[in-house]
Amino acid sequence: MYLFFLFGLLCAAGHHIFYSTLDGRIADRQLEMLRYGAVLAFATKAGLVAAVVVAFRQRIWLTVRSKLLSVPALDSLFAATDDITALWNAEVYRTASVAMALAAFVWLAPLVIIFTSNSLSVELHLNAINTTCPNVRSLNFDKESLENWRDPTIIDDLIGQSVSTWNSTTTSPEMEGWFDYYTAFSRTMEVTATMAIFTQQTVARTGVTDDICGGGWNCSYTINFTAPGYKCEELAKGVGATVGQFGDHDPPKDFGIEYLLPKGNLSYQASTMGGEYYISQVSPVSTGGMPTELKPPFPKNLGAFRTEPIIWVGYAERVDTVPTNRSVPGFDKAFIPHVFACEHYETAYTVRFEYRNGKQTANVTDRQYLRRVVDTKWLQDEVNPSPHDEDEDGPSRRNSNNNKNRTTDGTNDPTVAFPQSSYVFPQQVQRYGKVAAYHSVGKLLRDSMQGWLNSENVLNPIGDTKALQTKLLDPRQKWFPFPDLQDRLRSLYEDIVLSMLADPRYVSVVWAANPNIISGAVADDSPDHGDSAYPCERSRNEIRYKYHARDLWIVYGLALLIALTAIIVGTRAVFANEGVLHDTRFSNIVAATRGPALDKLGWHSQGAVTETLLGGVDHGRHLPRDIKNIRVGYGIVPLSGQDENPRDPPYSSTTPNSGYEPYSHHMYGGEDNTRVPGRMWDVGEVRYGFGLEGDVRQLLRSEGIRIRGRSRGRSPG
């Protein structure tokens, strides 16, 4: 009994330890782990039930020694842990309630297995760790300052790409007057910008999630870099508002609130090319932009960035969708005109990249505008005529024809800006290379915005602008600009800039951990990712084991408490049974039922006799009714030679099935207690066994009785 309880307790503790080791682990081999847990639960249940069964046996022997029960009640009592139908006898609950409570636990013990199986479950767990991720890239436009198109950067057998293309004044750097000057943005950059514009988001490189996060992981990180950006400011809002200066810049001609709905006809107007760098700086030129007629020294302003064009945008915000033309009432109040302007700045960015389920999102969390890309003011009215225009008949007339914009500085670029000391010249090689890169990226944005959209007839707008291809205009609102157009413009430009990371061939794409190292297009496969490892947060949703220790110990605690109570009850029963540990083995049952006391009864009914004669076997199912009413107990019973004792009650068995009918209590002097203290026989031998009411003397240990002398029978157990 005690060993069984200890075994059950150890199995319960082992179950707890096993599940504790699984708690929080990735839920692999789930069926195997659950089976191990079920084995431990079965073992715990088996140990506790075995302990309770042993205690139950001690209790039933104490019960039959101290109480008289009917034969059916005895049947139910001895079969209570084996036959569930034995639990339906009401008498046994009145006479042996403690024993039946223990039997009930035996039948309810399988619930221990059922309930403990729920103590280990699986749950979706977000595993987030701060670590480093390989192949994290950033931007460094200083690399554009150092790139030489004659000796391009080669990484992993791929030619590094610049965002700009170049012309040269001579065929050889050793020739007089040699320098390179800007032509336009590169075709590679044009592809990148076009993808960002058309997809309306930052372009992600194929496989970037696996390269950075690793298979099955999500990750996020924050990078900081300096790149071009547009700083915007609203200048006017509402009908009749006046468009003022943007800093020291004047608005362009043929631009203003009056051109916008509801007073004008335009829903969108953008002027983005004022002071634009002139691609054909001089003419005529040969391949590569080398002047064919001009000789060194070349014009001072040849190739110079004189200014960066301001983006001027006017748009009508549609606040009422009902009016569709001027004939509809409310048309004049259906639109709110806005004007804002943006200037090109070198900008410090803080960008948060997140990769979730293979999808990239980029969010600019902070931007600091550092300095203007070109710090000049475009003088839009100051395009000086060429001095050759005054000499129509002179020999210089021939040369002036090549200067188609009639400028005075020897170039074709009509732009004049102030101060000229802030021009960026090709001879300033490193600064010029970076400004050229910024100008290339900005030019792609400005090209996509330039133009107008006429929405006089709201249902049939007419326009001349690439803005229809961008995320600036809303197709669901008849191509009217989005109300947050200023923020969308800035976001569109940032999409173009950040999309450069999708093509690591750019020389300005570097490792975030080492901004001086150009990354190239191939992933860093070094063992420790020394160049590319960058702080990040990795996360993934995992199916992990969840151990509910409280639930397990509620079930086991209750079961252990019941089992411990049963052991206490069983221990007390053992002491009450004179220290003898009883059981219900066959030999002990035979020893307890052997003797003349029970042989006097007619145990077979007529039905049982008939069944036996027909070849059947009677298992006691057909007891006579009067036999069922006889009360039986366990104690000292007389031997066969003592039946004539005058104090013994006579038996009456006039018929085979008459059963046993004891004398009334008057024959014993009015006493009705068969368990009176004292000995029933003073001499002769005695035997322990089952006897009928009146025959058996039930002796309790509490009475302090000891039966001495030789006994032919023995106490069961």
CB contact set of 179 (below 8 Å; sequence gap of 6+): 168, 169, 303, 426, 427
Measured distance CA(345)–CA(369) in Å, rounded:
6
Locus of tokens 């302990």 = 51
Sorted by where each begins, the domain ranges of the chain are: 1-124+544-584, 135-532, 586-717
Residue 588 has pLDDT above 80, yes or no: no
Mean pLDDT of all residues in 526-552: 88
Measured distance CA(104)–CA(600) in Å, rounded:
35
pLDDT, greater one: 678 or 384? 384
Q: Residue 627: which pLDDT band, with cuts at 50, 70 and 90?
A: low
Q: What pLDDT, on the 0 to 100 scale, is given for residue 64?
A: 77
Residue 650 has pLDDT above 60, yes or no: no
Please count the CA atoms within 13 angstroms of the CA of 663 that sit on its side-chain side. Answer: 14
Residue 641 has pLDDT above 70, yes or no: no
Can you read off the two tokens belonging to residue 24? 């929080």
What DSSP character marks residue 523? -
Residue 495 has pLDDT above 90, yes or no: yes
Measured distance CA(526)–CA(154) in Å, rounded:
19
Burial class of residue 142 (count of CB atoms within 10 Å of its CB; 0-12, 13-18, 19+):
middle
Measured distance CA(262)–CA(648) in Å, rounded:
127
Mean pLDDT rounded to a whole number for the chain:
83
Locus of tokens 């039933």 = 60
Query: Residue 355 forms beta bridges with which residues?
Result: 219, 360
Residue 486 has pLDDT above 60, yes or no: yes
Quickly list DSSP for 562-588: HHHHHHHHHHHHHHHTTT------HHH
Which of 284-288, 442-446, 613-617, 630-634 bottoms out in mean pLDDT, i.e. has the lowest? Answer: 613-617
Q: What pLDDT, on the 0 to 100 scale, is given for residue 651?
A: 41
Q: What pLDDT, on the 0 to 100 scale, is given for residue 576?
A: 79
Quickly list DSSP for 648-708: SPP---SSTT----PPPGGGGTT---TT-SS-S-SSS-BEEEEEETTT-B---GGGT----
Measured distance CA(168)–CA(214) in Å, rounded:
46
Q: Are 21 and 544 in contact (CB under 8 A)?
A: no
> Could you count the other beta carbons within 10 Å of the beta carbon of residue 440?
24
Q: Are 168 and 288 in contact (CB under 8 A)?
A: yes
Identify which of 194-198, 648-652, 698-702 has the greatest average pLDDT.
194-198
Q: Are 579 and 62 in contact (CB under 8 A)?
A: no
Residue 638 has pLDDT above 70, yes or no: no
Locus of tokens 């290339």 = 440
Q: What pLDDT, on the 0 to 100 scale, is given for residue 643?
A: 46
List the one residue out of 277, 274, 278, 276 whose CA is nearest residue 341. Answer: 274
Measured distance CA(331)–CA(320) in Å, rounded:
8
Mean pLDDT of all residues in 35-54: 92
Q: What pLDDT, on the 0 to 100 scale, is given for residue 405?
A: 52
Q: What pLDDT, on the 0 to 100 scale, is given for residue 570?
A: 85
Residue 287 has pLDDT above 50, yes or no: yes
Q: What pLDDT, on the 0 to 100 scale, is given for residue 537?
A: 97
What percent of the chain is predicted at pLDDT more than 70? 77
> Could you count the other beta carbons within 10 Å of the beta carbon of residue 411?
24
Identify which of 92-96, 356-360, 689-693 has the greatest average pLDDT.
356-360
Q: Which helix (H) or strand (E) holds 496?
A: helix 485-499
Query: Which phi and psi (to 5°) does residue 557 adopt?
Result: -60, -45
Measured distance CA(227)–CA(368) in Å, rounded:
10
First to last CA, the chain: 14
Most distant CA pair in the chain: distance in Å?
172
Which of 81-95, 132-146, 317-331, 599-613 bottoms out in mean pLDDT, i.e. has the lowest? Answer: 599-613
Residue 43 has pLDDT above 60, yes or no: yes
Can you read off the two tokens belonging to residue 595? 């003797």
| Pure H helices in 23-70 | 30-66
In angstroms and rounded to an integer, the radius of gyration of the C-alpha atoms of the chain is 52
Query: Which phi and psi (to 5°) does residue 262 adopt?
Result: -90, -15
Measured distance CA(11)–CA(50) in Å, rounded:
13
Q: What pLDDT, on the 0 to 100 scale, is given for residue 572?
A: 87
Q: Residue 663: which pLDDT band, with cuts at 50, 70 and 90?
A: very low
- Chain-centroid distance, C-alpha 600: 79
Q: Are 282 and 468 in contact (CB under 8 A)?
A: no
Q: Residue 61: which pLDDT band, with cuts at 50, 70 and 90?
A: confident
Residue 413 has pLDDT above 60, yes or no: yes
pLDDT, greater one: 148 or 651? 148
- Cα 293 to Cα 406, 414, 610, 611: the distances in Å are 17, 20, 140, 136
Which of 211-215, 258-262, 389-393, 559-563 bottoms out in mean pLDDT, i.e. has the lowest? Answer: 389-393
What percent of the chain is predicted at pLDDT more than 90? 57
Give the tens place of pLDDT for each residue, 112-138: 989 988 899 999 989 999 999 999 999
Locus of tokens 């300095």 = 371
Query: Which phi and psi (to 5°) does residue 421 adopt?
Result: -65, -15
Residue 685 has pLDDT above 60, yes or no: no
Residue 678 has pLDDT above 90, yes or no: no
